[in-house]
Structure 1
Amino acid sequence: MPRARVNGLELEYDTFGSPENPPIVLVMGLGAQMVTWETGFCGLLADGGFHVVRFDNRDIGLSTYLDDLPVPDLAALAAGDLTSVPYTLSDLASDVTGLVDALGAGRAHVVGASLGGMIAQQLAIDSPDRLLSLTSIMSTTGDPSVGNPEPAALAGLTRPPATTREQAIEDGVAWFRLVGSPGHPSDEEFLRMKATRNYDRANHPAGTLRQAAAVVASGDRTAKLLEVRVPTLVIHGESDPLINVSGGKATAEAIPGAELLLLPGMGHELPRQLWPTIAAAIIEHARKA
């Protein structure tokens, strides 16, 4: 796969569809590699007439790891001391614009999921002229009163990293079950395939910790989102245990003119059964924009 030199980093990416078509850049979530945007889903977007780009955020997957930076001090972060934070959401958003530049696109439709939605929102705040449209999926505004996880999901998110391949795969399967979609369940074979693929492609828990610190350090975006004028679509599952649906509702309420699509039975994932619905909504939104 190709790599783009961006902000002194190398970002791993790949593409679907003709480069002559308008670009859609897909930004994935906390500790999640670009392959979490499954090829079948990317193909649906490409078939809609777009040049689809997915990539590994810094510190994850096959992009540059920043292990030379300090390990975030979680206790200090909780107390409001941000001195150990290695980078912010604005830095991650700058990676997206750098990737767009490397592709020679200038502007792009940007679709972000979970942490990726937060990055996309920050991009709309920092560099709105670089966005043709914004789609924020299963994300939130940073307001601590909305989007909070259920206790079991929070416990799963903060568990210590596995020390063996076997345990990492089992933990991955358990995590997918925990945050999955009760109305659109996945079979065991698919979950195990994803967990195995993720571990064997790249396993870098230290990067996930630094990404999480960026979320904490960046705070509440609500006031700045009120000033965003980028055409925005917000998609959220009504059964999301990790980022409660209130986070999606708050995002749509904050951004003027934003459309909100709530999907019953969807958890913190993009279930295969809903790919056509989600892809069609993104395509329609991008075409209108």
Structure 2
Amino acid sequence: MTSHQSHGERLLGINGVELCAETFGDPAGPAIVLVAGSAASMLWWDADLCEQLATRGRFVVRYDHRDTGRSTCYPPGQPAYSFTDLTLDVLGIQDALGIERAHVVCQSMFGGIGLILGVDHPDRVASLTFVSSSTGADDLPSPSSDLAMPAEPDLSDAAAVVEYVVVGARAYAGGSPYFDEAAIRALAERDVARARSYASTLVNHYAIEFDGPARGGFGDIAAPTLVVHGDHDPLLPLPHGEALRDTIPGAELLVLKGAGHDLPRAVWDDFVSALVRHTEGGRP
């Protein structure tokens, strides 16, 4: 097996639930744990992107949150967990894979997981990266007035659910010239077919309690931090990323030109290069 191939999906028993995880690359390399955004399974961290990082010497981990993909699901509208539980899931995955300290990359709403890790569990975090995320401050811009989301689909109609995901992804791309509808449709079809309960995926992350860190806020993060933000992001416009950079001590900002609230393939070279630089150094 070459270093950049996947080691296959596996179900891990963690914190009383099952979490599906997949790894890429050499376990002796610096570990990068990819935390997807809300309602997103591991598939939204594209396997080709994971392999690009693995070929640069990184041990890459992607996983399904609770209520996504093959991980444990709860009835729609009844998630029995909090942000802290989801954060402890990341640490449980690190424990299961023998990773003492990880470079954690968090997307969108689940930047909150990175916040809790960085503030309450600094010994487990080698660095943090926030992608398309925010401090949540009240004075930051609202979502673009052009961000029109589709009506909820008939959940019994898989084709309608796929179309809903595609239309939503197009809206979140914010008019990006890099939006690839065929690729997103193929991803959505795999995601819907693979999920234990896509009905739960669509709603449960928006119903959980954000309990936040116990020991402080973004200004108390000591881990080296990279902020990555698209200049076309319609959900969290670029000032959200700038605010994260300004709030976290020593943080750096990478602006992805032409990207919306996602990581289109056209910006992967810039993202991978920045993340490799940010995660230099071997496993402690």
> TM-score band, normalised by the shorter chain?
0.7 to 0.9
1:105 alignment counterpart? 99
Matched, 1:141 2:135: yes
Task: Verify the 8 A CA contact 2:115 2:213 in the aligned structure 1.
Answer: no
CA distance in 2, matches of 1:88, 1:192: 30
1:52 alignment counterpart? 60
Shift of 1:254: 1.2
1:126 alignment counterpart? 120
Matched, 1:14 2:8: no
What is the RMSD of the two structures over their aligned residues, measured on CA atoms?
2.4
1:71 alignment counterpart? 77
1:82 alignment counterpart? none
Matched, 1:23 2:31: yes
CA distance in 1, matches of 2:113, 2:250: 20
Structure 2 unaligned spans of 5+: 1-8
Matched, 1:5 2:9: no
The more displaced of 55-64 and 141-150 is 141-150
2:184 alignment counterpart? 191
Task: Verify the 8 A CA contact 2:178 2:259 in the aligned structure 1.
Answer: no
2:5 alignment counterpart? none
Task: Verify the 8 A CA contact 2:149 2:168 in the aligned structure 1.
Answer: yes
Structure 1 unaligned spans of 5+: 73-84
TM-score by length of 2: 0.88
Aligned counterpart in structure 1 of residue 70 of structure 2, from 51, 57, 62: 62
> Going by fraction, where is helix more abundant, 1 or 2?
1
- Detail structure 1 runs of 4+ shifted over 4 Å in the superposition: none
CA distance in 1, matches of 2:174, 2:61: 26
Task: Verify the 8 A CA contact 1:13 1:56 in the aligned structure 2.
Answer: yes
1:96 alignment counterpart? 90
* Same amino acid, percent of matched pairs: 38
Seen in structure 2, the aligned counterparts of structure 1 residues 8 and 259 have a Cα distance that, compared at 3 Å, is same
1:50-102 Cα shifts (integer Å, max 9, x gaps) = 100000011211101123xx936xxxxxxxxxxxx743222211110111001
1:78 alignment counterpart? none
Aligned to 1:11, the other structure's residue is in SS state strand
* Equivalent residue pairs, number: 272
1:127-182 Cα shifts (integer Å, max 9, x gaps) = 111000000000112323326322443x527x424331111121122112111253
Shift of 1:211: 1.4
